[in-house]
Structures are given as structure tokens and as C-alpha cells.
Amino acid sequence: MTNKLLVKVVKPQLFIFCSPHNPSGKIWEKDELERIAFLCKKYGTLLVADEVHSEIIFSGEFTSALKLSEKYLDNLAVLTLPNKAFKLGRLKTSYSIIPDESKRRIFLQRLKMNVITSPNVFGVAGLTATYDYGEEWLEQLTLYLRKNYEFSKQFIEENIANWKVIPAEASYLP
């Protein structure tokens, strides 16, 4: 069954799209994002872009789903957080960006139904400090992880017969 036929038959309400891809580390090209956004909109499927691994980029350029053509933004929710790169997981700093006001309102109502109504005070301070002062940390972390990836790739390909490591453009595990 082709992907298009599967979408027609199953009719999913939402499509969670990992960008960059987890676990391969592939960075999606803008035209690939546009094709996915087109199909989601065509079949009435909300595109939920999981961009939580977008901060650690080894090579290439990351394109957020928020950079899609405006005609797709009313069918988009982007989920992200600084937890992966900056280790803020216990501070609960994840957030969503939902361009369409009506979808955003529904999302906020669901959060209230689940008693998720305000951010963690320490998380807000951590999030602000991360985005204001964390660039050097992120650069050093990315360099460290890139070197670990390159070392591991070389070791595997030189020492394990018939193994080839998928080229990673981004990391998903700091």
C-alpha cells in the first residue's frame, strides 16, 4: 500500500513528524517539508512537527516547519524545548507554537482540562537563561558530539565487517 493510499484509507487526525529525524539525524529539506505539509492539508490531517532535536546540527541547515509557506501554517503545530541540548528536563520547559488561533485555543482548553495551566517558575528562568546565554555551551556541545559521532563512525566502519553508519546531519542524544 502506498503512503498516499494509506492516508486515504486510515484518515489520521494528526501526523507527528520528527524534524530532524530521530534516530537517523536526517535534516529534512524545505521541499520535503512542503510535500508533507501539502499531503496533511489535502487529507485534513494536522501536521505536528516535533522539533525537540533541532538545536544540535552537525552539518547542513535546519529548516523549521514554521518556515513553510503561509498556506500551511493554519494546519501546523510545532513542539519544541531546550531540554535535549541544555538538560532542562526536570524544569518542564517544553512549549508549542500553533499559528492558527482556533487550533491554539482548542489546545489551551485541553491543557486546562488536564490541569496544565501555568509554566514552572524555575523552568521560565532556565528557559530564558538558556536562550540568552547558552550559545557558547551549545556550540561546544555540538562540537563534542560531532567528534564522538565521527570517532564512532570511523571505528565501526573500520572494525565491524559489513556495517555502514548512516550519515548524521543532527544529533538526537546529547
DSSP letter for each residue of 43-90: TT-EEEEE-TTTT-BSSS----GGGS-GGGGGGEEEEE-SHHHH--GG
Residues whose CB falls within 8 Å of the CB of residue 140, separated by 6 or more in sequence, listed in order: none
pLDDT at 2 over 60: yes
Q: Are strands 76-80 and 46-50 parallel, antiparallel or unpaired?
A: parallel
Q: What is the pLDDT of residues 101-111, one digit of tens each?
A: 999 999 999 98
Question: Which range among 58-67, 70-79, 117-126 shows the weakest confidence by mean pLDDT?
Answer: 117-126
- The CATH number of the domain where 70 resides is what? 3.40.640.10
In this structure, is residue 165 part of a structural domain?
Answer: no
Instruction: Give CA–CA dist 95/82, Å, rounded.
Output: 9
In a domain, 170, yes or no: no
pLDDT at 128: 93
Q: Does any domain span residue 166?
A: no
Q: For position 84, what pLDDT does the model report?
A: 83
How high is the pLDDT of residue 5? 63
| CB half-sphere exposure, 112, CA atoms < 13 A | 6
Domain total in the chain: 1
Q: What is the pLDDT of residue 3?
A: 64
174 vs 25, higher pLDDT: 25
Q: Average pLDDT of 48-61?
A: 94
Q: For residue 84, is it within any domain?
A: yes
Please check whether residue 65 lies inside any domain of the structure.
Answer: yes
Give a yes or no: residue 167 inside a domain.
no
| Domain range for 80 | 3-159
Looking at residues 145-166, what average pLDDT do you find? 94
Instruction: Assign 17 a pLDDT band (cuts: 50, 70, 90).
Output: very high
pTM: 0.87
Three-state DSSP class for residue 171:
coil
